[in-house]
Amino acid sequence: MKANETNLQEIIEGSKQYIIPMFQRTYSWDQKQWLTLWEDLMELVDEAQQYENHFIGSIVSIPVNANPTGVQQFLVIDGQQRLTTLLVLLSVIRDKAEEDGLPELAAEINETMLVNRFKKGEEYFKLLPTQVDKDIFKRIIKKEVLESDQSSGLVKCYDYFKNKLHDLTTDVEQLKNGVLHNLSLVSIVLSPDDNPYLVFESLNAKGQPLTEADLIRNYLFMRIEPSEQEEMYKGYWLPMQTNLGDSLTEFIRHFLMGVNLNVKKKDVYVKLKQQADKANVIDYLKELAIFATYYDKLLHPEKESNEKIQYYLKRIQQFEARTAFPFLLYVYRDFDVKKYSLEQFIEILSIIDNFIVRRYVCNIESKPLNKMFGSLYNQLKPFSEADSIQELKAFLQVRGYPKDTEVLHELINSPLYGAGDKREKCKFILSVLEESFGHKEKVDLTKATIEHIMPQTLTESWEAELGSNFEEVHEKYLHVIGNLTLSGYNSELSNESFSTKKKYYSKSNFELNKDLVKYNTWDEQAITDRTEKLYKKIILAWPYFGLASVKDNDVTGSSPRLLFIGDETTKVKVWREVLEHTILFIYKNNPEYYQELLQTRSLLISVEKKNNEMRSAKQLSNGHFIEVNFSAKSIYTTCKKLFIDAGFDADTWGVEVEMK
């Protein structure tokens, strides 16, 4: 490594070319950095200041072509933003000199500092920026900037300095000398044997943080031969980067997760590197690019040409079901290579849409879905096309997929409307229900808003409408689906009475509103009645796909979600809670049998804690103790037997489980 303090003229003069490698980020300096550079330069050319030079940073490069008959080429590993800005500034000074009637000065700057006068092709340019910047930079040097280039950071940089020079009284040649001689730089030239990517990684550890996608691009292109880099970049990486934008890193994360890799957001680069190290880098990049086209359609369903597929992609996208993307990516690929037929692919999309919406309606936690969808594709791989769809249903059925009874219970008792994304998801569900009526003419739902029939703020007339328990009704039913509809005039309706609102509903184009006219009053009974009507529409839009062949009592390796006991539905998280609730139900509803259990099952239930006999005792709310150190299967079979032996109907006890 050679390091020395120098200036810009010594760095670029002669038959040299600086190449910013493909793994570097595009030009990103803006007015903040331009202003700092300009102020430094102004101090140097101000005669009153008497500054000889001003240190502005370093340029780290590595020689890549030592051909004595050609241009000496260097890869710029660090300082590329600085070097690019200085050459753009020189091009502004060149153009200003020409404008001021100084053609010789303009030619000197151009032919010694901006281009290699006697070289052809790309060797003609002193600097070759990376990626999309390269062609725009060439046009700046050749004074051929296009209208379409105006949004480029490089052109904005040129315009910034052009405006600064417009009213400047300083001699143009003095300004040129300031840039070339008085802005001091440290040039660090590495050995050709050094690994430029490792040096780049080390230097950037303390600089502006790179995104995971930046690191991945760097890694892939450092493994591709320089002669192939541009073709691979323009053909494969650039389309990914353009189409996915800020979602590029998340796409790569989902691409990795889809083959059952546990990938945290900050570990995308590390995990990809582990996988790609074993593969041919060009084949790997091409595969990544193919999957990126599927991801683009998941994000932008309008890009899918098949209307039926597009319909379900829009439903999934509107519900923001990105947790399913790792699985859908690979299923999309299987459809593309004709493993799945069109009908089979659409059925899979409808199953995922169904699964996610029904879980959401029932307020089932979505956090476990990330891991589950990551492993799902591998679960289905061994099966044929048709069998894999049945296996998909069976797999999802025991992973928190609610039955119709649970859907109805939650619709009646839980709010569907809420803050943040709950509002959008609520509108999505209502919109699907509205579409299910089958309008002869398409109704525009995009401008519709959610209307609370019983308003969020009660007036005296509404209190009278709801009855003496108006506060309780308002708190319990305000945000349930039965009290919600779609409207084009939400602000006009506001807190109007139900009789006034009915006049609007009767004129509405939305079928959801026409049924409201049939109600004489709007109270607890009316809300519950409408909830049950909408429930029937929901289970038609998202019908239960569970298979009868999947046994409910196969609970090994599962976690309980819901306990159905008598007329009660209780949310549970561990099997111990199933045992507790079942024992207490028997205690409250058949005390005689409970007393019998105290005598005959003393190792299970005891009035006092038996330290010598109970391995893990848990105290109940009645003060008694139960043994809870049992397997899931033991608790399931024990509870069901005790429930039946206590004289209750076997069909009124059950557990909804979720496989781990």
The whole-model pTM stands at 0.72
Mean pLDDT of 256-282: 88
> What gap in Å lies between CA 306 and CA 326, rounded to an integer?
21
The number of helix segments (H) and strand segments (E) in the chain equals 30, 14
Q: Give me Rg for the CA atoms of the chain.
A: 35
pLDDT of res. 398: 83
Does the pLDDT value for residue 574 go beyond 80?
yes
Does the pLDDT value for residue 178 go beyond 80?
yes
Does the pLDDT value for residue 207 go beyond 60?
no
Query: What pLDDT band is residue 209 in, cutting at 50, 70 and 90?
Result: low
Does the pLDDT value for residue 468 go beyond 60?
yes
DSSP 400: T
Residue with tokens 């809420």: 418
Mean pLDDT of 5-25: 88
> What gap in Å lies between CA 660 and CA 657, rounded to an integer?
9
Does the pLDDT value for residue 511 go beyond 80?
yes
- Write out the two tokens for 509: 């184009």
pLDDT of res. 546: 87
pLDDT tens sequence across 294-343: 999 999 999 999 999 999 999 998 887 889 999 999 999 999 999 999 99
Please state, rounded to an integer, the average pLDDT across all residues of the chain.
Answer: 88
| 82-96, 126-140, 187-201, 392-406: range with lowest mean pLDDT | 187-201
Does the pLDDT value for residue 36 go beyond 70?
yes
Does the pLDDT value for residue 206 go beyond 50?
no
Q: Are strands 449-452 and 484-487 parallel, antiparallel or unpaired?
A: antiparallel
Q: How many Cβ atoms sit within 10 Å of the Cβ of residue 290?
A: 15
Burial of residue 491 (CB within 10 Å: 0-12, 13-18, 19+) is exposed
pLDDT of res. 194: 67
Could you give the 3-state DSSP secondary structure of residue 535? helix
